Amino acid sequence: ERRNDSRDSELMDLKYQYYRDLRDGKIRLKTSGKHYFFCPFCPDNRREYELMELQRHAYRISEEPRAARSFSDCARHMALLKYLNEKSESKRRCTPGTSKSRTPRRTRDRDDPPIVWPWTGIIANIPIELKDGKYVADSGRKLKEELVAEGFNPVKIHPLWDSRGHSGFAAVEFKRDWEGFSNAMEFETTFEMRQHGKKDWNTRNGGDDKQQQQLYGWLAREEEYRSKGVIGRHLQKNGDLKTVAEIQVEDQRKDTALVTKLSDVLLSKSERSEAMKKRISRKDRIINDLLASQEEMTQSYNEEMKAIQDDAYRRLRKIMEDSERTKAELENRRQRLKSRERELKQRRVWNDTEK
C-alpha cells in the first residue's frame, strides 16, 4: 500500500509539474490552422485534433494504462487534460453572449457552485507541537480511524506540511463516486451541526481550552482551491474545480463510453462467434461430404467385390459342370470302346471256329 501511495504521489507531482510547464508556456500547444491542435507529448503522432478530440485523446491515455507508453507519459497526458479542461472553461466564460444567455448562467453557477474534485474535506485545528524546530502531529492514520468510526468512510488523509512542519490542516480524500459525495456532505453537515464548520473556524475567537482543541471541518470549494497557502497548493496539485452538474455529465459520458465500448466488444464477440459458427458449419459439411463419399466408396467396393465373387462362383460352377460333363462323356466313350472290344474278340473267335 505504501508503494502504491508513493507511486500515486509521484504521479501527481509529475502531473502538476507538466501542468505548470503548459500553463507557463514552457511547453507550447502547437496549432494547425485556427481550430486544430497537435498533441505536445506525442511527437511521433502528427495527427491534427480539434479541442474536444485532443481532450478525449489525453483522457484515454491518462485513464487507460495500456494506452500510455510509460509512467511519465501517463502523467504528461493527465496534465494536458487538466490544462485543456481549464482552457475550455476559460473560453466558455469569456465567450460574449446576450444578456438573456448570461443571466441563466449566473443563476446556474449560484445554484451549483464549483467544488473540488475529487471530493475533498478540510480538517483544521489539528493539535501540533514543536519538536526539534519543526511542528509535528499524530499520524493521519489515527485521524482516518476517527473519521471512519463516525461513518464518513474517507479514502485517505493528507496531512498538509509547510516549511515549518505540520500546518495543523489535513485534506480528507473521499471516494470518487456518489457514495463518496454523500459521505463528504455528511462530513461537512456533521461539523456544521457541532458549530465546528468553516464559518465557525473563520469567526472563532479563542474560547476555553477544550473548544480550542476540537477539530473543525468543511468541504473544499473554490475559495480553498484558489487560496495561496498550503491548502490551495495541495488542492491545485491534486484536484480540479468542477460543478456537480459537470461531474454528472462527465459520469454520464463515461457510462455512455463504457456502454458503447461494451456494445462494441459484444458486437465483436458476436461477429467472431458467427464467423466461428460458419467455419464449424463449413467443416461439418466437409466432414459429412467425406463420410458420404466414404460410405459411397465402401458400398461401391462391396458391390464390386460381390460381383467379382458371384462371377468367380459362376465360372467355378461352369468349370465343375463342364468337368462333370466331360467326365461323363469320357466314361460313356470308354464303355462303348469296351463293348466294341468285346464284339471284336467274339467275331475273331467265330471266324477261327468256322475255319
Torsion of CA 129, 131, 135, 136, to 10 degrees: -70
DSSP secondary structure letters along 24-53: TTSS---EETTTEE--TT-TT----B-HHH
Measured distance CA(160)–CA(141) in Å, rounded: 14
Average pLDDT over residues 105-126: 76
Report residue 110 as a C-alpha cell. 449560484
CB 302 within 8 A of CB 296: no
Task: Report pLDDT digits (tens) over 4-54.
Answer: 556 777 888 888 888 888 888 888 888 766 567 788 888 766 677 777 778
pLDDT at 94: 61
Quote the percentage of the chain above a pLDDT of 90: 36
pLDDT over 90 (residue 303): yes
What's the chain's average pLDDT?
Answer: 83
Which phi-psi region, left, alpha or beta, contains residue 174 (left: φ > 0; alpha: ψ -120 to 50)?
Answer: beta
> What residue ranges do the domains of the chain occupy?
2-91, 115-242
Question: Over the Cα atoms of the chain, what is R_g?
Answer: 50
Task: Report pLDDT digits (tens) over 208-230.
Answer: 545 567 899 999 999 999 998 99
Which of the pair, 64 or 157, is modelled with greater confidence?
A: 157
Average pLDDT over residues 188-193: 90
pLDDT at 168: 92
CB 127 within 8 A of CB 216: no
Which of the pair, 355 or 325, is modelled with greater confidence?
A: 325
Average pLDDT over residues 189-204: 89
Q: What residues form DSSP beta bridges with 165? A: 135, 162
pLDDT over 50 (residue 102): no
Average pLDDT over residues 297-303: 92
| pTM of the entire predicted model | 0.49
DSSP state of 66: G
pLDDT over 60 (residue 108): no
Q: How many CB atoms lie within 10 A of CB 210?
A: 7
pLDDT at 155: 93
- What is the third-level CATH fold of 115-242? Alpha-Beta Plaits (3.30.70)
